[in-house]
Amino acid sequence: MPELPEVRVNSFKLNEAVTNKIIVDIKVWKPKLIQEINEEEFRNSLIGKQIKSVSNISKFLVFELSDDTYMLSHLRMTGQYLFWNTPPDFLEQHIHVIWYFSDGSQLQYKDYRAFGTFHIRNKSNLLSTKPLSLIAKEPQEIDPNDFFKLTKKSSKAIKTFLLDQSKIAGLGNIYANEVLWACKIHPSKLASEISLKNVKDILKFAAQIMDESTKLGGSTIDSYSSLNKQEGNYQNFLQVHLRDKKECRRCNTIIKKFSLNGRSSYYCPKEQKL
């Protein structure tokens, strides 16, 4: 699933491609992707509107349109966008939504597993209703003391805690593994047992690692690519994720892998002790 760096990269590239485009038509082949409203309401909310910008809030892409309309897009497992100045005569498989623009260009949403979601919001309810009302701040915005208080109230493993988007925004399985390796914290350690220094390290490395990944286009693992199938490069710099049975880059101990609440977790047994 794309995490914060990958969604950021998508937002940058989409912003360059579709800002100022005017939507003249929309075709939907998979209505289940649209949340809370039906296909007709979705189309009526967007047709005739101009895209003012594309940004992101955590793992949600935020399309800001004229008349204070917003379209939220979550890529889930396999969602990706294709933009065409001159659309081809054929459609790739698994294209579920197309936005047609007044200049003849198109934006297409492709999703092999079809788990992605779309929400329509306005300026007054964008942040006050689900899903964005449930999203916490990004690491660089969080006060360490406030975050420390949250960990003390938790009975979860620290990695599970970090994956909770209502506690900290943007981390998924890849970057949670990377952050805990950087901090020398075992993924199974209870969140309530980590120190204030641990918290400060987690927030520092989470911001740093995800910023570095963003600069390199994110991590292309499995099916991820940004706009028009552009792959990232940060997967080449991962320190622990997917490196089981390989040597730790710090101490040469063999990296181990285990499942924690159904998620693959990687750690160095020498430096990340329980």
> Which residues are designated catalytic?
2-3, 59, 263
Q: What is the 3-state secondary structure (H, E, C) of the chain?
A: CCCHHHHHHHHHHHHHHHCCCEEEEEEECCHHHECCCCHHHHHHHHCCCEEEEEEEECCEEEEEECCCEEEEEECCCCEEEEEECCCCCCCCCCEEEEEEECCCCEEEEEECCCCCEEEEEECCCCCCCCCHHHCCCCHHHCCHHHHHHHHHCCCCEHHHHHCCCCCCCCCCHHHHHHHHHHHCCCCCCEHHHCCHHHHHHHHHHHHHHHHHHHHCCCCCCCCCCEHHHECCCHHHHCCCCCCCCCECCCCCCECEEEEECCEEEEECCCCCCC
Cα 24 from Cα 99, distance rounded (Å): 8
User: Do residues 123 and 115 make contact, with C-beta atoms less than 8 angstroms apart?
Assistant: no
CA torsion through residues 73, 116, 79, 130, sign: positive
CA 71, 77, 79, 80 dihedral sign is: positive
